[in-house]
Structure 1
Amino acid sequence: MSTVTYAEALRSTPLLQGLPDKLILHIEDHAAPWPACRNRLLFFKGDPEDFIAFVHRGHIYHTLHEPGGREIILDYTLAGGIVGESALLHPRRRSFNAQLSADCQVSLLRARHFAELQADAVFMQRIHEQLCSRLQQLSDFVESACLYRLEARVARHLLTRMEGADQPEVRLPGNQSIMAAMLNVSRPRLNSLLQRWQREGLIRPHAHMLRIDNPERLRHIAAAQ
């Protein structure tokens, strides 16, 4: 990412929109790109919270591993987002692993440069709101994983990601294993269910999207525990 593109990417970050130029320049001066040759794991669960990461391209998946070793994706952050923002409040230890997608580009701002951000009330209010949103998403994940059958979990997942879209479509992750990890299910079981729904006319794959042809039927499935 060139210097110009890098600066533009930072300024297009939604949480930074409308903030004083002095604060934006401070971030631009001190944020360092994560080298493309580095490990695709940005940090591990239990690492100290000593930086935040700005995502400029791709995804960062928030993951944990079950005792048996299977990976679970709790959440993900898209381009334009910030990861590890709890470090700005009460830094302790990371509560998840942060795994970069193959095309991911990020820059890091270390804790020694946090004071200027923490002094901006508008920015910190946005950080609180983002953390509250993450907690709600985590609560929804736990509710689905613990209380709902597979069909209802998948239906809830698709409907949530369809909300606000112009078309009844859901963008698919890079591969089905990622989607399975997001739903805490094995890939073969997920594949079998999606194929059945396709035969029944509920969904239809289209390029890297999944078109929802029968949203009402999917809502009925989502409501059934």
Structure 2
Amino acid sequence: MSWLSQYFPNVVTNQEQFVSSIWQTLYMVCFSAILTGIIGLFFGIILSATEEGHILSNQVIYQILDKIVNIMRSIPFIILLALLVPFTRWLIGTSIGTTAALVPLTLGCAPFYARQIQNALSQIDPGLIEAAKSMGLSNFEIIVKVYLREGLGEIIRVSIVTLISLIGLTAMAGAVGAGGLGDIAITLGYNQFENDITLAATLIILVMVFIIQFIGDLLIHAVEH
């Protein structure tokens, strides 16, 4: 395409590397999103269920998890990357690359997602929970049939927010050796003054965000209507 060569000459020159960086970003987003979803949903449900007055009220467990989530959320991601280097190297065998980046990405996003899940579940009408108890449902059944079912719309909303934040974190991780669009935008775009590469990387990230938001809106509409 002549227009691509005209407006993004360095992208065309480094086409293979650029395409590879897109796949690296998608790899980091997909796998860290799955891990974040599992961990964050699990601890978000526990936080909600063990909160005072809720079905599994336990102030010891709640206070411990609450403090851990608050501390993890308070650490800037760029610092968390450095703090987790020894743990990542022990777990993965290296602290550099897209697979190694999954560790800080997951541990950086999971606490945020857990808190978002807790907030989403807190909006469920307490009357529904009391009605479920009166019907003889077990705590597990209440979590599945009331918490997750009634809170599904809000869970999708907070999942979209978390996923979009995760895309931003992959770009930051790329700047410190994780690969992906963040890496190529810094190493080629910024350091070598090839601004069209930085612009192209930014545009692709924006497209990812728009696609996620669009799909999320469709899912919310399907669930709530």
TM-score by length of 1: 0.27
Structure having greater relative contact order (Cα 8 Å, sep ≥ 6): 2
**Higher-helix-fraction structure:** 2
**Higher-strand-fraction structure:** 1
